Amino acid sequence: MQMNQSQHKAVLHKDGPMLVLAGPGSGKTLVITERTRHLIEQYHIPEDKILVITFTKAAANEMKERFLKMMKLSHTRVNFGTFHAVFFTILKVAYHLNSNNIVREEIKLQLLREIIHRMHLEYEDEKEFISDLVSEISLVKGNRINISNYYSAACPDEIFRKIYIDYDRSLRKSNLIDFDDMLVLSHQLLSQRKDILKLWQDKFQYILIDEFQDINMVQYEVIRMLAAPRNNLFVVGDDDQSIYRFRGAKPEIMLNFPKDYPECKQILLNVNYRSTANIVEAANMLIMHNENRFPKKVHTVKEKGPQVTLHQYETLSLENQGLVNDILMKNKAGIPLSDMAILIRTNSGSGALVHKLMEYNISFKIRDGLPNIYEHWIALDIISYIKISMGQCDRRLFLQIINRPKRYISRDCFDTPQVDLDGVKDYYEDKYWMLERIDQLEYDLALLSDMTPFAAINYIRRGIGYEDYLREYAEQRRIKLEDLIDLLDELQEDARPFQNYESWFAHMEEYKEELKKQFENDNKDNDSITIATMHSSKGLEFKVVYIMDASEGITPHKKAVLPADIEEERRLFYVAMTRAKEYLVILNAKERYNKVMQRSRFIEEIISKQRER
């Protein structure tokens, strides 16, 4: 392939540090593989002295395959791998570790589950709580944060510290390490053993790093040690596409690279070979609003192409209908569904969109595994109330709701598979205040039995006091009540069309079966539109991209409060926009689940820049 001047300059670079700023679709993989070839063929660097690092196993394998194809080889001694693979190799040699020493994911989750149970902690959604803990533990280790100075978002600080220490102790006791320990232990080893460090410095004399904007502090410090004293560090990335701060990635590392290496050379790859001019210009207009970035403007070799389309609808329902109409129109015009993508900010709240696709038999693939709203613990609470009101007496249904909201009824009352509330009254026969609570519950259940699903959810929320229970839970878990209320709103809106419980439950079963079918579709080569979160769309490209729900509170997300958070959200929107090759359609609704929504500031920024021109 013919290279442009900037790409060629980067490929010819031999010694010393170089920072390659590679905009979207600018051919960075080509530059890395070509430079690797150039080091071998032109500068006669032995293959095994070259280390090429990227962030995922799939990306490392793809890079290696492209290199082998380019070199017309079946194997190579160039070291292609992820950070974890490289660091584990270092630990293997030093400590004689093998794959049995790496904790398996299910064992890791089991260890955390046991710790939580030992501490008698109770959370409504244990899976979600453990997932939050895993992220925070990774963040602490990946940035070498002193645990005593860390403030947890998942639970009270003292509880998090105890969980963290117990988890670490459990790993050591079993002679196990997790992926984050690979980084921390490599850092400790190379800091303390200069002889071992020298061995690896001589081994990896030329280091190339892809997606450098996603690096965390420990990874960077280890790489700096390995690269010294030669400092043949060739880093490629785009600070405008740094979107993993929540995982510990620090875009400041890339921004400060020229300060850490004052002698470093800089190359800008600012020609986008993927998208049309209108898409590239709109993306430029957006990202210019970020202050903490390398100043740059991407341009393209492609023609103007269609205008970026902005659609505002009155309601969420009309937005989803507008999306479906546009998909069907473009598909009829000859664009296969497989060349289209629907990008969403988060997986939650996208049930109505999926329902609409199902209604029109539009085949889809879900890149991130869409959660089924009816399996969320809040939905299970609501469904349990309704099923009891319909006459079901299963013990598990009563245990699900009996203290949501708090009635202070003991679990010991429910000692038979089928529950009779008269038996519960017998248990509390000498406590009139408890009998009043049980009478109130019976009254509430009797009212629910004759309601529509929509009215029932409304009564459970406000009449029974379920929202008060959620308020307490949100405070305890340090999460926003708004997130829980949003889910209730979505569930209630979903129930609106159904006149009785039976038809609503039948719909739930159909939805579950359809999701299962679509999940099986993922591994087939059928013509399906891709649904992906903005985060998981990185590295992909499609002829047509739809960005959904471009509203304040969704994108930028309501959790984004600080200027640094808003800049990250803007980068995420920029990544979503630059996935599109020809058509970019951005949609939003003025009203969502009876709430008035403001159009995303990101749309305003694109439009305002267009007006200024």
CA 101, CA 122: separation in Å to the nearest integer?
31
- Residues 176 and 101: beta-carbon distance below 8 Å: yes
CA 182, CA 94: separation in Å to the nearest integer?
12
In this predicted structure, what is the pLDDT of residue 429? 83
DSSP-assigned letter for residue 416: S
- Residues 267 and 21: beta-carbon distance below 8 Å: yes
CA 549, CA 68: separation in Å to the nearest integer?
42
- Residues 386 and 456: beta-carbon distance below 8 Å: yes
With a cut of 50, say whether residue 196 has pLDDT above it: yes
With a cut of 90, say whether residue 476 has pLDDT above it: no
Q: Which residues contact 539 (CB under 8 A, 6 or more apart)?
A: 59
CA 349, CA 595: separation in Å to the nearest integer?
14
First-to-last C-alpha distance (Å) of the chain: 35
Annotate 63-130 with DSSP letters as a single string. Answer: HHHHHHHHHT-S---SEEEEHHHHHHHHHHHHH---GGGBPPHHHHHHHHHHHHHHTT---S-HHHHH
155-180: pLDDT as tens digits: 888 999 999 999 999 999 999 999 99
CA 292, CA 251: separation in Å to the nearest integer?
9
For 588-612, what is the mean pLDDT?
Answer: 84
Q: Which residues pair with residue 585 across a beta bridge? A: 309, 546
With a cut of 60, say whether residue 230 has pLDDT above it: yes
With a cut of 90, say whether residue 474 has pLDDT above it: no
Structure tokens at 539: 């590295």
- % of the chain exceeding 90 in pLDDT: 70
For 510, other C-beta atoms within 10 Å of its C-beta total 11
Q: Predicted confidence band at 525 (pLDDT cuts at 50, 70, 90)?
A: low
User: Could you tell me which of 581, 372, 219 has the C-alpha nearest to residue 237?
Assistant: 219
Interior CA angle at 266 toward 265 and 271, to 5°?
150
CA 193, CA 267: separation in Å to the nearest integer?
35
Residue with tokens 């996208």: 350
- Residues 67 and 36: beta-carbon distance below 8 Å: yes
Annotate 512-535 with DSSP letters as a single string. Answer: HHHHHHHHHHTTS----EEEEETG
- Residues 214 and 237: beta-carbon distance below 8 Å: yes
Bridging pattern class, strands 580-592 and 309-315: parallel
CA 80, CA 85: separation in Å to the nearest integer?
9
User: Could you tell me which of 13, 23, 17, 481 has the C-alpha nearest to residue 263?
Assistant: 17
In this predicted structure, what is the pLDDT of residue 453? 97
Kindly calculate the radius of gyration of the chain based on its CA atoms and give it in whole angstroms: 28
For 591-596, what is the mean pLDDT?
Answer: 88
CA 373, CA 491: separation in Å to the nearest integer?
8
- Residues 79 and 109: beta-carbon distance below 8 Å: no
For 459-475, what is the mean pLDDT?
Answer: 93
Average pLDDT over the chain, rounded to an integer: 91
Burial class (CB in 10 A: 0-12, 13-18, 19+), 499: exposed
Q: Which residues pair with residue 266 across a beta bridge? A: 19
CA distances from 565 to 144, 538, 555, 558, 603 (A): 21, 19, 11, 10, 18
CA distances from 437 to 70, 104, 298 (A): 75, 47, 66
In this predicted structure, what is the pLDDT of residue 521? 62
User: Could you tell me which of 308, 400, 325, 309 has the C-alpha nearest to residue 360?
Assistant: 325
User: Could you tell me which of 378, 382, 438 has the C-alpha nearest to residue 414?
Assistant: 438
Kindly provide the residue ranges of all beta strands, DSSP E only, lying in 492-579, ordered along the sequence.
Answer: 529-533, 542-547
Structure tokens at 104: 């398996």
In this predicted structure, what is the pLDDT of residue 236? 97
Establish whether the linkage from the previous residue to 556 is cis, with ω within 30° of 0.
yes
For 92-108, what is the mean pLDDT?
Answer: 92
Annotate 190-205 with b (16+ C-beta within 10 A) or e (fewer). Answer: beeeeeebeebbeebb
Structure tokens at 190: 């190379």
CA 320, CA 301: separation in Å to the nearest integer?
34
Structure tokens at 217: 């502090």
Backbone angles phi, psi at 602, to 5 degrees: -65, -35
Structure tokens at 600: 């995303």
CA 39, CA 48: separation in Å to the nearest integer?
12
In this predicted structure, what is the pLDDT of residue 612? 38
- The one-letter code for the residue type at 69 is K
Long-range contact set of residues 131-136: C-beta below 8 Å, sequence gap at least 24? 133/160, 133/163, 134/108, 134/109, 135/246, 135/247, 136/160
- Residues 94 and 189: beta-carbon distance below 8 Å: yes
User: Could you tell me which of 380, 341, 387, 384 has the C-alpha nearest to residue 364?
Assistant: 341
With a cut of 50, say whether residue 611 has pLDDT above it: no
52-92: pLDDT as tens digits: 999 889 889 999 999 999 999 899 999 999 999 999 999 99
DSSP-assigned letter for residue 394: B
User: Could you tell me which of 313, 199, 269 has the C-alpha nearest to residue 587?
Assistant: 313
DSSP-assigned letter for residue 562: S
Structure tokens at 550: 């471009």
Of 391-400, 437-446, 479-488, the poorest mean pLDDT is in 479-488
Interior CA angle at 253 toward 26 and 258, to 5°?
75
With a cut of 70, say whether residue 523 has pLDDT above it: no
For 582-606, what is the mean pLDDT?
Answer: 94
For 93-122, what is the mean pLDDT?
Answer: 91
Structure tokens at 157: 């600080």
Q: Predicted confidence band at 522 (pLDDT cuts at 50, 70, 90)?
A: low
